[in-house]
Amino acid sequence: MTDPAAGESPNRTNIDSTAPGAKAKVDVRRFGCNAKIRPEKIDVYKRHHARHWPELTKALVDHYLRNLSAWVRELEPGEHYVFSYFEYSGDDFEGDFQHLADLSVSQKWHTTVDQDCLVRSFVPVYHIAGQ
């Protein structure tokens, strides 16, 4: 386990990359995202996630996102939330996300699912690194 007081962060991991042309070590930052979804949009949200948008998937990968997962849960009657997890391996998070947000495919996605997921920096408290 890392010690935040020692300048380490449990939301950063160095991972060996075996992809051709990739760096030997990739500095990966983990993020969580949550957003409320209007009940009448749940079916639209699930339907559009079930059929991946290749252009959007490429844009996410091109902007250093990986291991992206999303879950939907009704926490209280009529209160639906999505929680997403992703890893970012770039070196300009704000710039990459601004560029990603400016892409027409991203804007179309957010308009279609009618959900704006702001990235929240959850305070990481525990992480088990892959072996």
- Which of 5, 38, 46, 40 has its CA nearest to residue 116? 38
Cα(23)–Cα(64) distance, integer angstroms: 13
pLDDT digits (tens, 9 = 90+) for 83-109: 888 999 999 999 999 999 999 999 888
- Give me the pLDDT at residue 102, please: 94
Three-state DSSP class for 107?
helix
- Give me the pLDDT at residue 115, please: 62
Residue 75 has pLDDT above 60, yes or no: yes
Domains of the chain: 26-120 (3.30.70.100)
pLDDT digits (tens, 9 = 90+) for 30-67: 888 888 888 888 888 888 888 888 999 999 999 999 99
- Give me the pLDDT at residue 81, please: 87
Q: To the nearest whole number, what is the mean pLDDT of the chain?
A: 78
Cα(68)–Cα(49) distance, integer angstroms: 12
Instruction: Calculate what percentage of the chain has a pLDDT beyond 70.
Output: 73
